[in-house]
Structure 1
Amino acid sequence: MTVRVMLVAPALGAELREARFGDDLPLTDAELAPVRTLAAPRADRVLAAPSPRCGQSARALGLTPEDEPALADLDAGSWRGRRIDELASSAPQLISSWLSDPGFAPPGGESVCTLLARVGSWLDALPADTGRLLAVAEPAAVRAAVVHALALPPAAFWRLDVTPLTATTLSGRAGRWNLRCGAPLTARQLP
């Protein structure tokens, strides 16, 4: 049986706009306004990463998600809340290592390889009878799912962009996935 996993990137919040390492800030009403105009794809089950922006984005789409910790953002450890340009000027070697070595982890955080393993294990463990699964997931988790599903090298993680409020769909099953990238969500039908 084919599984369809639709990974929806959450609304754009301040931390993404500012290139700030995840500090789990909630979205403002203004940031959620565009989400409320969109319709979620039909799904048999709905999940969301445990961050406020993913849960809020799911609820603004009219969904009632279950939390899925496997779809959480890359753990930035002691870099949490800091801007990448700030770290690049104070610790350029660390940022360079982080961007070039998928095995490098920020102090107290996780590496891209660890994220790939976490998301890949979740994807591979989905039962064949899952049907249509929709998950509002952190952009890093979406990239990790694509890298894992297509058996790309870990370094490809940094070469993938995930646009807010788009759906990336994987269909198939463990070991054999097809990909549909970045489809925009459609506008809600007015009554």
Structure 2
Amino acid sequence: MTSRVMLISPAISAALREARFDDDCSLDESGLRLALAAAGSLPAVSTVWVSPTARCRETARALVLDAGSVPGPAGLDAGRWRGATLTEVTEKEPEALAQWLTDPQSAPHGGESVRGLCDRIAHWLDGTAARVTGRTVAVVEPEVVRAATVRALGAPESAFWRIDVPPLTATELSGRAGHWNVRLGRPLGAPHDT
């Protein structure tokens, strides 16, 4: 059976604006306003998943999605870099950051590697396809969208950093475990297939 999974990236927050490793901050005013404006733009769904961060939960609420239905996959564990800006990490640990950005297996921050994230999200995606019928929507962190896209396309993990995931966009996957088609980056509020 074919499954349809729509991954929605959260609205803008201070962490996204500041290129900061997530510290669970809330949406900023403009992000909340844009998410509220996009409410009602999604097709009917049977299951809603929401990552545990504040910005994902707040985006789901603004989009009038039942955010309490099923906990979604968490974003990348950035370890000791959590809350730091990319500039701060570049200044303090340039070699470690360079290693992390070029070696998908490395996790110099003490958190999760890109490979680990991609494997975890592929497992979640395949499990979702096996368990859930109908259309699924998941409001998830941008790195979750990147990881799902990498695994769905069978792309090398080095492609992870080459995928841009703007706020409040939908990436749609259709297919079944191990065999996915991908439609990338439709802004919420744009026409969709039902």
Name the TM-score, length of structure 1 as normaliser.
0.93
Q: Secondary structure at the match of 2:87?
A: helix
**Mapped contact 1:119–1:145 kept (Cα < 8 A):** yes
- Report what 1:8 is aligned to: 8
* 1:154 is the counterpart of 2:157: yes
More off after superposition, 76-85 vs 28-37: 28-37
**TM-superposition CA deviations, 1:46-75 (whole Å, max 9, x none):** 1110100001000000111234342x1110
**TM-superposition CA deviations, 1:135-164 (whole Å, max 9, x none):** 101000000001011111111101101011
More off after superposition, 155-164 vs 36-45: 36-45
**TM-superposition CA deviations, 1:85-119 (whole Å, max 9, x none):** 11111211011001100011133210001100110
- Unmatched runs of 5 consecutive residues or more in structure 2: none
- Report what 2:99 is aligned to: 97
- Report what 1:135 is aligned to: 138
Pairwise mapping of residues 39-54 of structure 1 onto structure 2 (< 5 A)? 39-54=41-56
Q: What is the identity, as a one-letter code, of the residue corresponding to 2:114?
A: V
- How far apart are the structure 1 equivalents of 2:85 and 2:75? 16
- How far apart are the structure 2 equivalents of 1:143 and 1:52? 20
Across the aligned residues of Structure 1 and Structure 2, the Cα RMSD in angstroms comes to 1.4
- Report what 1:32 is aligned to: 32
Q: Secondary structure at the match of 2:154?
A: coil
* 1:164 is the counterpart of 2:161: no
- Unmatched runs of 5 consecutive residues or more in structure 1: none
Name the TM-score, length of structure 2 as normaliser.
0.91
